[in-house]
Structure 1
Amino acid sequence: MKAVGLVVEYNPFHNGHQYHLHTSKNETNADVVIAVMSGSFLQRGEPALVSKWTRTEMALRGGADLVFELPYVYCTQHAEHFAYGAILLLEAAGCDTFCFGSEQGKIEPFLSLYQLIKEKKAEYDQYVVKYISEGNSYPKASSLAFYELVSDVLDLPDLTKPNNILGFQYVKAALDHSFRIKPCTIRRIHSDYHDQELPDQPIASATSIRKALMRQQDLESTSSYLPSESFLLLRSYGEFHDWEKYWPLLKYKIMSSSTDELEAIYEAEEGIQYRMKENVLEASSFNEFVSKVKTKRYTWTRIQRLCVHILNHVKKEQMKSAMNQNSYLRILGMTEKGRKYLNLNKKKIELPLISRISSVQHLGLELDISSAFIHSLALDFPSQKKLRKREFQPPIFL
């Protein structure tokens, strides 16, 4: 059975995701679609809108055949580590190709860019160092370095575009590690990644859908942008998760920690803990807090990711140890076709396959479970209890 792999967050699963899923399957002539999906917290340093189990069911009802969890050690990282973890899992699962959405829409320019940067790596790195020394964040410095190299080269992916950035990192991960899996891409249609408002046509950005959903009275306004199954699952979920619901917990963690204790947290660098301590009592909300801490160098996303690690109390040494362990494929859900694929290929799968957790003996899994528990704290106690129990039950089967 031929498999195409997708790297996803599905926060939530909307019409654009369904288009990407079905088009990827058709373009690659795949028999099954395998999704590697972020768990409870996401790459831009945000809590997922709903639990990973609800998002898994959305994915399966939307056409995915297998959903694996992208572990915490990868899904809460900057683009390069995030991409490596995701492609590593799709490679291990035996996918023939991975397919990502991009503003570029053609794979050849990504391959050309990879080769160009590889050939000029020393020059590229020098530009990155130069722009960081001028006070730019790493993402901004990387973008400026990119333009120094390719200013006179046509038809290369624009690395200021978020999907192109991730797409290039997926391609880089596969080629740097000589994986068998082959890259492909399809063009994003209609909505832009960062669009804030719902459009007139049926494909909207996840950002605009989340913004409308967080205004509870606008729940119905999102129905035309979501597959009916996704909308029904959202409507029955109850309270949605966003940073403001965790703000009192985060505020307590920062206030009760010394600057040395905060410095030990993963991604706490360059004295950012001092800015956090200085501003935590001056902010009435999470958004106001990040606005006060943010600078040219400390980007919003970087601060959010650090806040995720503070909330989950993930230290540098703990993350380093977890990343040094072999990874694993934890199954969140599957269809009958997905189960058939596993039965045919399980002897070839290169990483431990986990369908049910009985005893945890892996630092990465411990982080996945503890972060799921903390993610549940935004809900009422019966819902928290239900989600904690769900962590130790079998995958969803449709």
Structure 2
Amino acid sequence: MKITGIIAEYNPFHNGHIHHINKTKEITGCDLLICTMSGHFVQRGEPAITTKWERAKTAVENGVDLVLELPFVYAAQSAAYFAKGAVDVLKLAGVDSICFGSESNNLEILEQLAELDVNLSDAMKGGLSPVQAYEILYGSLNANDILALNYIRALQGSGIRPYSIQRTNHYHELDTSKQIASATAIRYAIKNQLDIKHATCMEITDPIFLEDYYRYFQTVLLTMDSSALPSYFMMDEGIENLLIKHARLPEFEDFISAVTSRRYTRSKIQRTMLHLMMQTKKADIDNLPPLNYLRVLACNEKGRAHLKALKEQGVLIASKFTQIPEAYRTIEYKSSVLYGYPCSDEKRQQILERELKAPVIL
């Protein structure tokens, strides 16, 4: 049986994702399609616009057989760690290939670049952002090519074959008129109450945005002992002083504009904000055991049968929340608590209760 994996955030699920699913099946000829998906928070350090359960259910309704959660500690990190976590999940899930979107769609070149022995950290020592460092090391790369490069690196030695498909639009494109619009454009349209039904099958009635957390972030940052901040994850190089300096600005976008620079991209700042609100300590990350479980968000009968086979092979399947290893379980529950912060009392309670329930089975 051919089993292919895809890595996604579905923030939100849209027509471009349907195209990706269909092309993946066409290119790989797979019998089973597995997706590892970010949970309530995504790689750019933002809350997903709607819950992971709604997004996972929609993915299965549109051709995915099994959706597995990418743990928070990988989902809200830079491209290299995001890719490593996602690939590790798919390795555990027994895939023999993965298929990702790419702006260049030149797998040969991406594989050659992935073979280069380079050090991103060294390239960043002069004050460059990760994206600028990638440009120096590899030439100009767009967001999905950077992820693709890291997927290929994470696959090295695994025997899992990579495939790529042509991305149909630019990652940050804001044109909402097309049938296939970017997730950025769709979130923009939803935020500004524009009609976007032609581009997504999801009906999002109560969207969540990072700015909804800004008051909470200000409160945490400005009431915390500043000498303790360096012990928190991503609080490096004195970035806490920069954040404190501008955290009294009343508007979220003014704050973001004030703290972003060549060194600190918007995504880096947002991830740092997120981990502070989560109160993620560096020691929490350092002491995490290796990723050795699969947390199921949604599946159909084919996916369910595969899970049974994996379980018989000794893979830890977390169909129940209590089956997640404790260190990861603690973090995942905290992420649901934080995710529900800006919601109504009723929705916040629903989010917390849903976290403890079984997967969506279709």
TM-score (norm 1): 0.87
For residues 102-113 of structure 1, the aligned pairs below 5 Å read 102-113=102-113
Q: Does the CA contact (< 8 Å) of 2:92 and 2:292 recur in 1?
A: no
Q: Label 1:9 to 1:255 Cα distance change in 2 as closer, same or farther (>3 A).
A: same
Q: Does the CA contact (< 8 Å) of 1:91 and 1:180 recur in 2?
A: no
Give the structure 1 partner of residue 241 of structure 2. 274
2: CA distance between counterparts of 1:386 and 1:13? 21
For residues 107-122 of structure 1, the aligned pairs below 5 Å read 107-115=107-115, 117=116, 121=117
Aligned-partner residue type, residue 392 of structure 1: L
2: CA distance between counterparts of 1:270 and 1:133? 11
Secondary structure of the residue that 1:67 maps to in structure 2? strand
Give the structure 1 partner of residue 100 of structure 2. 100
Secondary structure of the residue that 1:33 maps to in structure 2? strand
Aligned counterpart in structure 2 of residue 187 of structure 1, from 150, 156, 166: 166
2:355 corresponds to 1:391: yes
Secondary structure of the residue that 1:35 maps to in structure 2? strand
For residues 306-345 of structure 1, the aligned pairs below 5 Å read 306-322=272-288, 324-345=289-310
CA shift for structure 1 position 343: 2.5
How many residues were matched structurally?
Answer: 362
2: CA distance between counterparts of 1:171 and 1:361? 28
2: CA distance between counterparts of 1:362 and 1:332? 18
2:187 corresponds to 1:210: yes
Structure 2 runs not aligned, ≥5 long: none
CA shift for structure 1 position 319: 1.5
Give the structure 2 partner of residue 136 of structure 1. 128
CA shift for structure 1 position 47: 0.8
Secondary structure of the residue that 1:223 maps to in structure 2? coil
Give the structure 2 partner of residue 369 of structure 1. 333
CA shift for structure 1 position 284: 1.5
CA shift for structure 1 position 36: 0.2
Q: Does the CA contact (< 8 Å) of 1:94 and 1:348 recur in 2?
A: no
CA shift for structure 1 position 133: 4.1
2: CA distance between counterparts of 1:293 and 1:268? 14
CA shift for structure 1 position 342: 2.0
CA shift for structure 1 position 73: 1.3
Higher helix share: 1
CA shift for structure 1 position 135: 2.4
Give the structure 1 partner of residue 259 of structure 2. 293
Aligned-partner residue type, residue 266 of structure 1: F
Q: Does the CA contact (< 8 Å) of 1:128 and 1:145 recur in 2?
A: no
CA shift for structure 1 position 360: 6.1
Aligned-partner residue type, residue 144 of structure 1: I
2: CA distance between counterparts of 1:357 and 1:134? 44
CA shift for structure 1 position 132: 3.0
Q: Does the CA contact (< 8 Å) of 2:320 and 2:356 recur in 1?
A: yes
Q: Does the CA contact (< 8 Å) of 2:75 and 2:82 recur in 1?
A: yes
2: CA distance between counterparts of 1:128 and 1:245? 33
2: CA distance between counterparts of 1:256 and 1:128? 32
2:311 corresponds to 1:346: yes
Deviation track 1:101-128 (CA, whole Å, cap 9, x = no partner) reads 001224222222223x1xxx2xx43x96
2:25 corresponds to 1:25: yes
2:125 corresponds to 1:146: no
Secondary structure of the residue that 2:295 maps to in structure 1? strand
CA shift for structure 1 position 74: 0.6
Aligned-partner residue type, residue 145 of structure 2: N
Aligned-partner residue type, residue 132 of structure 2: K
Q: Does the CA contact (< 8 Å) of 2:100 and 2:163 recur in 1?
A: yes
2: CA distance between counterparts of 1:311 and 1:334? 31
Give the structure 2 partner of residue 34 of structure 1. 34
CA shift for structure 1 position 215: 1.6
Q: Does the CA contact (< 8 Å) of 1:103 and 1:187 recur in 2?
A: yes
The alignment-based identity, stated in percent, is 32
Superposition RMSD in Å: 1.7
1: CA distance between counterparts of 2:229 and 2:277? 11
1: CA distance between counterparts of 2:72 and 2:278? 10
Q: Does the CA contact (< 8 Å) of 1:66 and 1:335 recur in 2?
A: yes
Q: Label 1:360 to 1:4 Cα distance change in 2 as closer, same or farther (>3 A).
A: closer
Secondary structure of the residue that 2:138 maps to in structure 1? helix
2:248 corresponds to 1:304: no
1: CA distance between counterparts of 2:125 and 2:105? 34
2:19 corresponds to 1:9: no
Give the structure 1 partner of residue 207 of structure 2. 240
Secondary structure of the residue that 2:297 maps to in structure 1? strand
1: CA distance between counterparts of 2:171 and 2:185? 9
Aligned counterpart in structure 2 of residue 198 of structure 1, from 165, 176, 182: 176
Give the structure 2 partner of residue 357 of structure 1. 321
1: CA distance between counterparts of 2:323 and 2:154? 32
Structure 1 runs not aligned, ≥5 long: 148-157
2: CA distance between counterparts of 1:144 and 1:110? 15
